[in-house]
Amino acid sequence: MDNREGVKDFMKMTMRWFGEGNDGVQLRHIKQIPGVDGVVWALHDVPAGEEWPMDKIMEVKEQADKHGLNIDVVESVNVHEDIKLGLSTRDQYIDNYIKTIEKLARVGVKVICYNFMPVFDWTRTNLFEEMDDGSTALFFEKSKIEDIDPMELVTNISENSEYTMPGWEPERLEHLADLFEKYKGVTEEDLWSNLQYFLERVIPVAKENDIKMGIHPDDPPWSVFGLPRIMTNKENVQRFLNLVDDPYNGLTLCSGSLGANPNNNVPEMVREFADRIHFAHIRNVKTYENGDFIETSHRTKDGSVDIYEVVKAYHESGFTGYVRPDHGRHIWDEICRPGYGLYDRGLGIMYLWGIWDSLERKKENDK
């Protein structure tokens, strides 16, 4: 039994899990990592905009229950593009989103992570960039993205394996071309307006069902392919929180996403927004002057984000919300979903707990 059980002033450690047989990581593996109480999950086979079936939700709960793991955090209930675009069809998709919130509350879900990034989720140019030590990691080469005509890439993607962004599956190319057309002329202010419309519909329902909504920052935190992106920095985070100023409207603060821009001071943001952070992704990245970045181990010295100071900021803020180690490297010849191997994320968890426990010891000694 973990010695943190019943202690209320600790962060709640979780690990993302993609389902039995989906990524090679099994629930029994996760259960063996000290200090992990739950899995972060989703119904990945349900398209964005559709209502989640209750039987599939219950299946996940029953699987986790067998291993004594909670399913308190869902990542993600994806937002349909029609909502982001502000189309006349958005209300039907918001209605489905609301019904999903109500179902998730019935199985004890406490936090829903989502994002409002047009077309793409996280964007990388190489899923397995080799590092000096022989491990591999997710890599972003900024010039490759800046030099691409997205419509030309849509036409040629089936013959171009160099670019590996989520959403570029061959069967979706026709839809991607259509989405790029729809987003022509859509500004950041349009996206802000459409986000507010969504929040004003969803947050009251989330509050009624005691589920906190945590928006994920844009990854990377700048425009990609000319598409508008708004969750990029401290000022925009504050603007977001003011759209619907309610505790249930909050953040999934990702140190790796925001940390890809050296101008973002992540520990400062943790301290400023601590009471509205419902879910923390802790990840390290090494940034380069030309705008490139590569994901590294969680250890502070290996990257450009001061993970020690990030964890210290959470600790000093009295953070008791949910945390997960974000993307890890691919080490020890593990075959895994890009960024989501068991081994390096397990190491990351122990590094985060090591920092936290040392801060706890210091606090006790200072009494």
- The CATH number assigned to the domain holding 16 equals 3.20.20.150
Question: How many other CB atoms are there within 10 angstroms of residue 28's CB atom?
Answer: 10
Annotated catalytic residue 175: no
**Which one from 80, 281, 298, 330 is the annotated catalytic residue?**
281
**Which one from 183, 248, 314, 340 is the annotated catalytic residue?**
340
User: pLDDT of the chain along its 367 residues, tens only?
Assistant: 344 454 456 899 999 999 987 777 899 999 999 999 999 999 999 999 999 999 999 999 999 999 999 999 999 999 999 999 999 999 999 999 999 999 999 999 999 999 999 988 888 888 899 999 999 999 999 988 887 777 666 665 545 545 555 545 555 556 777 888 899 999 999 999 999 999 999 999 999 999 999 999 999 999 988 899 999 999 999 999 999 999 999 999 999 999 999 999 999 999 999 999 999 999 999 999 999 999 999 999 999 999 999 999 999 999 999 999 999 999 999 988 899 999 999 999 999 999 999 999 998 898 7
Residue 252 inside a domain? The answer is yes
Residue 5 inside a domain? The answer is no
Annotated catalytic residue 326: yes
Predicted confidence at residue 3, as pLDDT, reads 44
Annotated catalytic residue 216: yes
Residue-number span of the structural domain to which 120 is assigned: 12-366
Residue 7 inside a domain? The answer is no
pTM: 0.92
Residue 4 inside a domain? The answer is no
Predicted confidence at residue 122, as pLDDT, reads 85
Owner of token pair 């919300």 = 321
Predicted confidence at residue 173, as pLDDT, reads 59
Structural domain count of the chain: 1
Q: Output the CA–CA distances (angstroms, integers) from residue 287 to 37, 128, 191, 258, in the order listed.
A: 32, 17, 28, 11
Residue 64 inside a domain? The answer is yes
Owner of token pair 């036409």 = 155
**Which one from 72, 97, 114, 254 is the annotated catalytic residue?**
254
Predicted confidence at residue 7, as pLDDT, reads 46
Helices (H), 186-263: 188-208, 234-243, 255-259
**Which one from 82, 114, 183, 216 is the annotated catalytic residue?**
216
Residue 297 inside a domain? The answer is yes
Residue 303 inside a domain? The answer is yes
Question: How many other CB atoms are there within 10 angstroms of residue 218's CB atom?
Answer: 30
Annotated catalytic residue 29: no
**Which one from 97, 327, 330, 344 is the annotated catalytic residue?**
327
Residue 1 inside a domain? The answer is no
Annotated catalytic residue 336: no
Annotated catalytic residue 281: yes
Predicted confidence at residue 123, as pLDDT, reads 86
